[in-house]
Homo-oligomer: A and B are copies of this chain.
Amino acid sequence: MTYALIREEAYAANMQLPELGLVLFTFGNVSAADRQAGVFAIKPSGVPYANLRPEDMVVVDFDGKLVDGNLRPSSDTLTHAVLYKHWEHVGGISHTHSVYATAWAQSGRDIPLFGTTHADHLTVDVPCAPPMEDEKIRGDYEYETGFQILRCFKTRQLDPREVEMILVGNHAPFTWGKTAAKAVYHSAVLETVAKMALLTEQINPEALRMKESLIRKHFERKHGPDSYYGQA
């Protein structure tokens, strides 16, 4: 098997999606990049998880051109390609239609930062990118979805190394990380944070965003130069 490492990595990460309850049928896809080779491996389009094998992963370059594989790649491949091309630190990308995160995306709202579960992973509300203009939808839609995400990060001056997730308005979440496994990890964190935030507002419609000092403390516990979470 050529590109064995990223195929295995993408395969294993894709198989995590049903295990974590993040997908129904084939509504999701994960990719893993090989930065040296300038390619990434991604799930083939519409193939049930039960039938997937590592060798089914399709390898494409950062322009989305087929490099290796017998199957058609995920219909969202161009979105992945745009993100890899512009964000050089990203090693894996995950896209799901997980229920709570998708409901926030459909509602068009950012997810407010209400607690430490959220702050352990990012210090801002989870951004929700506004829907794209009609001519872009009619054009190269998945390619434009990548730029929709880039634009949202630029407009809001967010750093994709610190904020590793986004909601695409009326659509669903995309998450990323240094590896495909990390990207899927962020999909699961986002789903939990999305559910907790909805419940929080139901319990107390006046619930306040967490205060800044506590946000910084929790993020730095896990991510700062003096982080002390996990094993050294």
Tell me how many residues of A have a C-beta within 8 Å of chain B: 60
Tell me whether A171 is interfacial, beta carbon within 8 Å: yes
Closest B residue by C-beta to A139: B217
Known contacts A46-B231, A172-B117, A192-B24; A138 and B217 CB within 8 A of each other? yes
Q: Using a CB-CB cutoff of 8 Å, which residues 184-202 of chain A contact chain B?
A: 185, 188-189, 192, 195-202
B residues near A229, Cβ cutoff 8 Å: 45-46, 75
B residues near A116, Cβ cutoff 8 Å: 97, 170-172
Known contacts A24-B192, A214-B170, A230-B46; A102 and B117 CB within 8 A of each other? yes
Please list 10 pairs of residues, one from A and one from B, whose beta carbons are closer than 8 Å in the complex, sorted by A's number: A46-B230, A99-B192, A99-B196, A104-B203, A106-B210, A109-B203, A131-B211, A141-B217, A198-B203, A202-B202
Residues of A whose CB lies within 8 Å of any CB of B are 24-25, 27, 44-47, 71-72, 75, 97, 99-100, 102-109, 114-117, 131, 134, 137-138, 141, 170-172, 185, 188-189, 192, 195-204, 207-208, 210-211, 213-214, 217, 221, 228-232
